[in-house]
Structure 1
Amino acid sequence: MSWQWVQRDTVFAVHDKQLAVHGGLSGVRDLNAIESALNRALNRHTYGNPPPDVADLAAAYVYGIATSHGFSDGNKRTAWVIGRLFLAINGAPLKFTEVDAINFMLAVAAGDLTEQQVAQWIRQRLDRP
């Protein structure tokens, strides 16, 4: 499959929008951590064995952004939106409740879920016909 990747500029725009809407500290805490988080999905695609599915790649974005803490604030919010954006542009939107999503992202950021568990959570909620 030919995947549509989320671009770096889009991630920064999403982060800025999340802060504008919901508040928080602006700024980058660790640019290398952000770059690493963004490359995580591409690395999974390139080197994954077995080849990753859309949930695995979305999980790489979500887990990478949420746990790297590259931004001063808004990491969980940015991770959530970027994960959903990746799924949407690749034809795999999610079905979820707001409470479910909040609890999920809190667990991801707290380190309570592995990247594989994040992928499984996403896989179970893919809104496919």
Structure 2
Amino acid sequence: MPEYISKSLALAIHEDLIRSYGGSTGLRDEGRLEAVLASPQASFAGQELYPTPAAKAAAYLVGMARGHPFVDGNKRTAFALADTFLR
């Protein structure tokens, strides 16, 4: 079973990226962040919507980049979440 990314880990990754590369801190939409983090686990009629590790990583990446739950650094965080999940 894959190790999904927790909210606390996502927040820590985002904070580290902002501290390292600059930008504004802050969570713009907590519900959106929770939805992005839940999306790789989604299923319908007993079938996973994202059945492979690569598909799950892509769900993190696209969800974060398009969903913009943070004030700044969403695309950086998107790539970092996908990378973290795949490791």
Do they superpose with TM above 0.5?
A: yes
Please show how residues 1-129 of structure 1 align to structure 2 within 5 Å: 2-44=1-43, 47-48=47-48, 52-88=51-87
Identity between Structure 1 and Structure 2 (%): 33
Give the distance between the partners of 1:44 and 1:23, measured in 2 at CA: 36
Q: TM-score, normalised by structure 2?
A: 0.90
**Root-mean-square deviation over aligned CA pairs:** 1.7
Give the distance between the partners of 1:77 and 1:44, measured in 2 at CA: 27
**Between structures 1 and 2, the one with greater strand share:** 2
Q: How many residues align?
A: 86
Q: 1:18 to 1:44 in 2, by over 3 A?
A: farther
Give the distance between the partners of 1:36 and 1:47, measured in 2 at CA: 19
- Which letter maps to 2:33? I
